[in-house]
Amino acid sequence: MAEAIKPVGVVAGVSGGIGRALAEAMVDSRCFSRVIGLSRQRPADWREDDSRAWAHLDLLDETTIAQAATHIARIGQPTRIIVATGVLSDANLAPEKSMRALNADAMARSFAINAIGPALIAKHLLPLTPRDRPSLFAALSARVGSIGDDRLGGWYGYRASKAALNMMVRNLAIEHRRTRPLGVCVALHPGTVKTRLSAPFENPARSDAALTPDRSAAALLEVIDRLGPDDSGGFFAWDGERIEW
């Protein structure tokens, strides 16, 4: 008799605050034969054992995404894929306060990392998910990517790249359900979370309101556990609230 394919969990962005917390919680849940972390560099304290594996992935290089998919397929069949990568600022990128600050290269970088990268992960990993069993693909978006919710303006590149990501997820959900009716594809807002990404923008007066990565990850996993095929194509916050597009 052929050996059953083992369900594995995948977290892209395992070197990040929320990604690492999600991966640890998924390992602790013992729901997966293996949790596979993906990132540009293996986190120094990521120990490889029977419960976890790691593979290189750079969103700006599709070859690495294809190679990661091959690596994952050798280990098992992904039934939960969470994309927890993203960029808000870096040495060449800062959230724009005004249209005067718009810069083509910076915006292209936001789109490449926040919208196109997750879509390429879906391109290579969704075909590995089971056809006849439930599975989930979730991309961490951001509430500021909601067009309907935008009342403050600013942060053009980040907002627009997350809005583009939301459209990618919606489209993926429509295509995915044709071959995998039990599959779920969603965009998730993790809350305001204390990580490397949010640190430069922390409001000291409101720092108590920010979630720890562990708290956000636990809440996101609770939301994920409640989602079914009818929710596919939706945008949900860490507290389960459905967010308008």
Q: Considering Cα of 202, then 205, then 211, then 212, what sign does the dihedral take?
A: positive
Chosen residue from 138, 185, 197, 220 binding ligand NAP by CB under 6 A? 197
Residue 85 interacts with ligand NAP (CB under 6 A): yes or no = yes
Closer residue to ligand NAP (CB): 10 or 142 = 142
Question: Which one of 35-43, 48-56, 167-175, 224-232 is the stretch in contact with ligand NAP (CB under 6 A)?
Answer: 35-43
Question: Which one of 36-44, 98-106, 121-129, 228-236 is the stretch in contact with ligand NAP (CB under 6 A)?
Answer: 36-44
DSSP single-letter state for residue 5: P
Residue 60 interacts with ligand NAP (CB under 6 A): yes or no = yes
Closest separation between CB of residue 165 and ligand NAP, Å?
8
Closest separation between CB of residue 204 and ligand NAP, Å?
15
Residue 95 interacts with ligand NAP (CB under 6 A): yes or no = no
The DSSP element (H or E) to which 132 belongs, if any, is none
**Residue 163, both tokens:** 């809005």
Residue 58 interacts with ligand NAP (CB under 6 A): yes or no = yes
Structure-token match 């305001």, residue found:
192
Residue 65 interacts with ligand NAP (CB under 6 A): yes or no = no
Chosen residue from 5, 31, 33, 40 binding ligand NAP by CB under 6 A? 40
List, in sequence order, the alpha helices (H) in the chain. 17-29, 62-75, 104-111, 117-125, 156-179, 213-226
Closer residue to ligand NAP (CB): 230 or 244 = 244
Q: Which among 171, 78, 65, 79 has a CA at the least distance from the CA of 124?
A: 65
Chosen residue from 110, 166, 198, 232 binding ligand NAP by CB under 6 A? 198
The DSSP element (H or E) to which 46 belongs, if any, is none
3-state secondary structure 52-105: EEEEECCCCCHHHHHHHHHHHHHHCEEEEEEECCCCCCECCECCCCCHHHCCHH
Closer residue to ligand NAP (CB): 9 or 86 = 86
Residue 18 interacts with ligand NAP (CB under 6 A): yes or no = yes
Q: Which among 15, 141, 122 has a CA at the least distance from the CA of 62?
A: 122
Contacts of 134 (CB under 8 A, 6+ apart): 79, 182, 183, 184, 229
d(Cα 105, Cα 118) in Å, to the nearest integer?
A: 19
Residue 199 interacts with ligand NAP (CB under 6 A): yes or no = no
Tell which positions 126-185 bind ligand NAP, by CB under 6 A: 140, 142
Residue 108 interacts with ligand NAP (CB under 6 A): yes or no = no
Where along the sequence are the contacts to ligand NAP (CB under 6 A)?
13, 15-19, 39-41, 57-60, 84-87, 113, 140, 142, 189-190, 192-193, 195-198
